[in-house]
Amino acid sequence: MKNDMGLIVKTTARATIPLIGIFGAYVVSHGHLTPGGGFQGGATIAGAGILFLIAFGLGEMKRRYNHHLYSALEGLGGLVFLGAAMLGLGVAFFYNTLWHNGPVFNGQPGTLLSAGYLPIMNLAVGLKVFAGLVSAMVAIAAFRRWDE
Amino acid sequence: MIAPEFFYAALIVMIGAFLALLRVFFGPSVPDRVVGVDTLNTLIVAGMVLLGAAYDRTIYIDIAIVYALLSYVGTLAIAKYLQGGLE
């Protein structure tokens, strides 16, 4: 059985995967301004990964997918979230010190570089959700019990 | 500022979505139901855009775009499963 889908699906996936990825990155990075945020944007980018897996097949996905890299990225996302939460540990845990007296991310509310540590946490959660969901989907797709 | 004509258009789209839902419920075969769900996805995207215009919120369009992109992936996954699955 053929491992990938037809020519039309593959060509459409080549056009659509960057679109979904860029839109997911937009949702993640504007998480403090528009609907969405870390989880929603990360799940959207993971949708691009799942589209790659469906359109190009498991063999191509295994060639591009590095288990150690994605595992490390997921851990990095959690650690960045925890590090951002510990930035204002002098006052309290989860104290938004970047917003109150930080060097960056303290712009006018409503602009992109505002809201203190929220964009950093959104990026961390988005990275973690993307890496975790893609890893889970590849693991499920690689699970073969009925073939042998 | 709520424009009523967008609500009427959304109501018409909802009637169409109900008809597509009937195909999902009573479809005799699996591809019938898949086509019904695909039609339902497109109609829901249209309804989201119309309701975003009706409530005069620009940011609601983002959700419609995400839904349009991900419903395509979902339909593709079902099609791949019906075609024979991975491997």
Task: With a cut of 90, say whether residue B43 has pLDDT above it.
Answer: yes
Task: With a cut of 80, say whether residue A112 has pLDDT above it.
Answer: no
ipTM attached to this prediction: 0.80
Whether the CB-CB separation of A28 and A41 falls below 8 Å is answered with yes
B7 pLDDT band, cuts 50/70/90, is: confident
Determine the average pLDDT of the residues in B33-54.
91
Higher pLDDT pick, B71 / A2: B71
Determine the average pLDDT of the residues in A107-126.
82
Residue A1: predicted pLDDT: 45
Q: Which of A3, A50, A58 sits opposite B73 (nearest CB)?
A: A50
Residue B86: predicted pLDDT: 62
pTM exceeds 0.90 for this model: no
Q: How far apart are CA A71 and CA A60, in angstroms?
A: 19
The pLDDT tens digits for A85-94 are 888 777 778 8
Residue A120: predicted pLDDT: 87
Neighbour-count burial of B39, counting CB atoms closer than 10 A to its CB (0-12 exposed, 13-18 middle, 19+ buried): middle
Determine the average pLDDT of the residues in A48-59.
87
Helix axes of A118-142 and A38-64: crossing angle, nearest 10 degrees? 40
A119 pLDDT band, cuts 50/70/90, is: confident
Higher pLDDT pick, A96 / A18: A18
Whether the CB-CB separation of A94 and A85 falls below 8 Å is answered with yes
For testing the chain A interface, which of B55, B60, B65, B76 should be mutated: the one with the most A CBs within 10 Å? B76
B70: nearest CA partner in chain A: A47
Q: How far is B71 from chain A (nearest CA, A)?
A: 10
Task: With a cut of 70, say whether residue A65 has pLDDT above it.
Answer: yes
Whether the CB-CB separation of A98 and A105 falls below 8 Å is answered with yes
Residue B40: predicted pLDDT: 93
- Interfacial residues of B (vs A; Cβ cutoff 8 Å): 59-60, 62-63, 65-66, 69-70, 72-73, 76-77, 80, 83-84, 86-87
